[in-house]
Amino acid sequence: MTVRVTTLPNGLRVATDGMDTVETASLGVWVGVGTRHEAPEANGVSHLVEHMMFKGTPTRGAFEISQSIESVGGHLNAHTTREHTAYYAKVLREDAPLALDVVADMVQHSLMDAAELERERTVILQELGQVDDTPDDVIFDHFAARAFPDQGVGRPVLGRQEIIAAMPRDAVVDYVRRCYTAPNLVVVGSGRIDHDWLVGEATRLFTDLPPPGDPPATDAASYVGGEVREERDLEQLHLVLGFPAVGYDHPSDFAQSVLSTLLGGGMSSRLFQEVREKRGLVYSIYSFASPYADAGLFGIYAGCDPEQATELVPVVCEQVRGIGDDVTEEEVRRAKAQLKAGLMMSLESTGARAEQLGHQLLAFGRPLPTEEVLARIAAVDRDAVIACARRLLSAPPTVAAIGPLGHLEPYARIAERLAR
């Protein structure tokens, strides 16, 4: 494995993670802009731009963009998060020039055609409706919005229906012009890829990016917490309970990951064993840590029969509080082994390695060597996990619930159960 990074004169970074033992390559462009960089009145524009990049350029129509990659057996996709947007393709190594050409064309030359915008606006509104019909998806938007109210990091990635329905074409075009500049982009190649070749091709292909300007602004994340409850006639109650967490550049980020893993990261975790295996209260329960640049969220999701909430919430609270007192060395060792194995297994995928490299360059400004990541995982000890748990519990919780709410106890009682 060889990771190399070159910065072109215009500020565009080109990065490769070479894998000589595979016959495929993943190539793409990672953009340092996402939901938290949007103005409140333009919430959802990052995701709308992502969709529009596939809708045609002067040399390729929408069908030609997808057909060009799929005709050689490849895959073309994109995603938007709260802090970045990515466009990428996975192809056989001999088709890497085609993949890079297509992605470069999309990112620089999208027509943003008005008729296509109207059609795609309708598609996204349907996507929003689909998410709203899926409570175990939409509850995470409710959770983030309550944790970080009226802040970019707390707004939904897909935006809001009324904003998407009314967003003018000029706002979309202006967003690309301001945000898709060379210093804010990273061209990434992973797999059977030559670094010098990618640098040369990126120099040749990425010549029509907007001129650099002021970087996209972000408001500092300020956790508030509290509760949001939505009564719905559903078969299950969907619940997320969480706390403020640290960002991905914080010294405790890896302790936070270990804590999430041992609490609810697998079938041997505390929550799975106590809540599902021993008591049969849920089908699905897990914990998660979502770090951002300057903050994060730590949470637990559970879906249960509404009547089981009476027993579920006290048990979950008891397990969370217990981490701050009686976590064992064996639990920490097992969680670290899971994280290490997950990392090493992901390195067998060109797509995962491209995503990792793109994220690291946008988040840290440099690639993190695997050895460094492994060392930081290994350095986490029992004391660090306990300190992390106690820090979480020192803040007011955030509670989000969707479904029949009659058996869910008041927020004040839940907060009392978690208080140390």
| Catalytic residue status for 50 | yes
Q: Three-class SS of residue 405?
A: coil
Report whether 238 contacts 303 (CB < 8 A): yes
Pairing of strands 226-231, 398-403: parallel
In 165-294 the beta strands, taken as DSSP E runs, fall at: 185-191, 226-231, 237-245, 282-291
Report whether 240 contacts 140 (CB < 8 A): yes
> Distance of CA 241 to CAs 24, 110, 164, 302, 414, Å?
41, 41, 29, 9, 9
Greatest extent of the chain over all pairs of C-alpha atoms, in Å: 63
Q: Of the candidates 61, 58, 62, 36, which has an alpha carbon nearest to the alpha carbon of residue 47?
A: 36
Half-sphere exposure of 339 (CA within 13 A, CB side): 28
Pairing of strands 13-18, 185-191: parallel
Residue with tokens 């440099």: 366
Out of 38, 41, 50, 277, pick the active-site residue.
50
- Which residue type, as a one-letter code, is found at position 239? L
Catalytic residues: 50
